[in-house]
Amino acid sequence: MRKNIVAGNWKMNKTLQEGTALAKELQAALTGKVINCDVIICSPFIHLASINEIVDGKSVKSGAQNCADKVSGAYTGEVSAAMVASTGAKYVILGHSERRAYYGETNAILKEKVKLALENNLTPIFCIGEVLAEREAGKQNEVVKKQITEGLFDLSAEDFGKIVLAYEPVWAIGTGKTATSAQAQEMHAFIRQTLVAKYGAAVANETSILYGGSCNKDNAKELFSNPDVDGGLIGGASLKVDAFLPIVEAF
Ligand code: PEP
């Protein structure tokens, strides 16, 4: 059966000292605890090597929030998938709406990033989701299907089986406005059907589809109780253990 996952996206928050302190606190809180999901913290690049010394890779795993679309070379300021993997990180968020909106990441660029992440044994957490105007126009399914098709559907079934999806309606990210449980389930079921049509039921049923967008300790249980919601990608509420832990424990 597919995995339940709760992944924290720290975004551009926490100094190295603050980040390592948070990772230590979370690891201590989860050590020896029975938890029913994989827990991942996706930190800024500069934290990765230190965090991978702290987390045990079992109860807490680590990931990056991005990687380059190039292998190596004269790309000042970029960090490659191989570099991310060399820190011990196992995951990488790709296609977050903030990367798409502020840094011009297109589906074509993301396709390259996904390929390089997989070549370096990183699991992409591939983000998809519509903006408010698209939802208001009833175009959310069309938008999400295009993001998945153009970003991922060149992959073989075997490689697609290594992908985690995160549905994040952009209007819900950082706004305090969560999708209703019914809206989340409806979209997740649509995504899974889209995967069935492309890769068949076996692959689709093994793919974890996370919800992201103002998920917190008060709404996580209801969101995660939906049959097609396999966990969450958590922004703001991942920055403090007492906000994040109850979301992990919602499973
Ligand atoms: C995110 O950035 O992926 C996210 C879901 O943020 P927030 O939980 O703060 O809405």
For ligand 1, say whether the CB of 214 is within 6 Å of any of its atoms.
yes
- CB neighbour list of residue 71: distance below 8 Å, 6 or more residues apart: 80, 82, 116
Taking the CA atoms of the chain, what radius of gyration do you get in angstroms?
17
Pairing type for strands 123-128 and 164-167 reads parallel
CA-CA distance, 129 to 27, in Å (whole number)? Answer: 31
In the chain, domain spans:
5-248
Tell me: the pLDDT tens digits for 148-192?
Answer: 999 999 999 999 999 999 999 999 998 888 889 999 999 999 999
Ranges of residues in the chain whose predicted pLDDT is under 70 = none
Give the residue among 187, 195, 127, 121 at the shortest CA–CA distance from 157.
Answer: 195
How many angstroms separate the CA atoms of 124 and 90, rounded? 9
Per the CB < 8 A criterion, the answer to whether 251 and 37 are in contact is yes
Q: Whose CA is nearest to atom 4 of ligand 1?
A: 235
d(CA 157, ligand 1 centre) in Å: 29
Q: Is 171 in the pocket of ligand 1 (CB under 6 A)?
A: no
Q: Which fold has domain 5-248?
A: TIM Barrel (3.20.20)
Residues in Cβ contact with 209 at an 8 Å cutoff, skipping those fewer than 6 apart:
164, 165, 166, 167, 188, 191, 192, 228, 229, 230
| pLDDT score at 176 | 85
Q: What is the pLDDT of residue 200?
A: 98
Residues 6+ apart with CB under 8 A from 54: 20, 23, 24, 27
Using alpha carbons, select from 111, 99, 228 the residue that is nearest to residue 163: 111
- Tokens 């992201």, residue located: 212
The CA 200 to ligand 1 mean position distance, Å, reads: 30
Q: Is the full-model pTM beyond 0.85? A: yes
Active-site choice (47, 96, 98, 188) = 96
